Chains A and B, each alone.
Chain A
Amino acid sequence: MTALRNLPMLVSAILLALVAIAVLAGPDAVPAAMRDGIGDPWEGFGPLHLLGTDQLGRDLLARLLEGGRITLALATMVAVLCFAVGLGLGLLAAILGGAVDTLLSRLVDVTMALPPLILAILVVAMLGSSIPVLVIVLVVLESPRVFRLVRALAMEIMTEDFVTAARLRGEGLLWILAREVAPNAVVPLVAELALRFVFALLFLSSLSFLGLGVPPPQADWGGMVRENAPALGFGLPAPIVPAAVIALVALSVNQIADWLVTASGRRGMGRG
Chain B
Amino acid sequence: MAAPLLEMLGLTIRARSRKGPVDLVRNISLRLDPGEVLGLIGESGAGKSTLGLAALGHLRAGCHAAAGQVVFDGIDLLRTPHRLLRRIRGGSIAYVAQSASAAFNPSFTLGAQIDEVLRRFDPASAAQRRRRILALLERLGLPDPETFFDRFPHQVSGGQLQRAMTAMALAPSPRVIVFDEPTTALDVTTQLGVLATMRNAIRAEGVAALYISHDLAIVSQMADRILVLRHGAEVEAGPARQVVEQPAAPYTRRLLQVGAAPIAPRDTGDAEVLLSVQGLQAGYGRNFRVLHDIDLQVRRGRTLAVVGESGSGKSTLARVIAGLRPASAGRISFEGQALPPALGQRNRELLRRIQMVFQSPDTSLNPAQTVGEIIGRPVAFFFNLPRAEVKRRVAALLEAVELDVSLADRRSPALSGGQKQRVAIARALAAEPDLILCDEVTSALDPLVAEGVLALLDRLRRERGVSYLFITHDLGVVRSIADDIVVMERGRIIEAGPRDVVLAPPWHATTELLLASQPSTEAGWLDSALERRRRLADPRETGRAVDEGALVAPSPAAVAMP
Contact = CB atoms under 8 A, between A and B. Distances in A.
Interface of A: 160-162, 164-165, 167-171, 179-180, 183-184, 266, 268-270
Interface in B349-397: 351, 355-356, 358, 360, 363-369, 377-378, 381-382
28 contacts: A160-B364, A160-B366, A161-B363, A161-B364, A162-B363, A164-B324, A164-B356, A164-B358, A164-B364, A165-B364, A167-B324, A167-B343, A168-B322, A169-B377, A169-B381, A169-B382, A169-B431, A170-B348, A171-B381, A183-B366, A184-B367, A184-B368, A266-B18, A268-B367, A269-B367, A269-B413, A270-B367, A270-B368
Given A169-B351, A269-B413, 15 more contacts: A160-B364, A160-B366, A162-B363, A162-B366, A165-B356, A167-B324, A167-B343, A168-B343, A168-B355, A170-B351, A179-B369, A183-B369, A268-B413, A269-B368, A270-B368
B323 interface: yes
A160 B364 CA distance: 7
B363 A169 contact: no
B346 interface: yes
B360 A161 contact: yes
Contact of A161 (B358, B382, B414): B358
Contact of B324 (A160, A168, A170): A168
Contacts of A270: 367-368
Nearest to B324: A164
Interface string B399-436: 00000000000010110000000000001000100000
Contacts of B411: 269
Contact of B366 (A168, A184, A266, A268): A184
Contacts of B367: 184, 268-270
A180 B367 CA distance: 9
Tell me if A's interface is mostly helix, strand, loop or mixed. helix
A268 B368 CA distance: 10
A74 to B, nearest CB: 34
Contacts, number: 58
A162 B424 CA distance: 10
A262 to B, nearest CB: 13
In this complex, which of B358, B368, B369, B431 has the most chain A Cβ atoms within 10 angstroms of its Cβ?
B368
A165 B427 contact: yes
Best-buried of A161, A167, A183 by chain B (most CB within 10 Å): A161
Given A183-B368, A268-B414, A168 B323 contact: yes
B417 to A, nearest CB: 14
Nearest to A184: B368
A160 B363 contact: yes
A106 to B, nearest CB: 24
A200 B159 CA distance: 53
A270 B368 CA distance: 6
Contacts of A171: 381
Contacts of B324: 164, 167-168
A160 B346 CA distance: 22
A246 B515 CA distance: 71
B534 to A, nearest CB: 40
Nearest to B382: A169
Contacts of A269: 367-368, 411, 413
Contacts of A266: 18
A106 B382 CA distance: 42
Nearest to A164: B324
B364 A170 contact: no
Across chains A and B, which 6 residue pairs bring their CB atoms closest together, nearest first?
A183-B368, A161-B364, A162-B366, A161-B358, A170-B351, A161-B363
B84 to A, nearest CB: 34
B366 to A, nearest CB: 4
Contacts of B427: 165
Contacts of B366: 160, 162, 180, 183-184
Contacts of B346: 170
Nearest to B356: A168
A270 B378 CA distance: 22
A165 B426 CA distance: 13
Contacts of A160: 363-364, 366
Interface in B194-220: none
A219 B381 CA distance: 56
A38 B67 CA distance: 72
B364 A162 contact: yes
Contacts of A180: 366
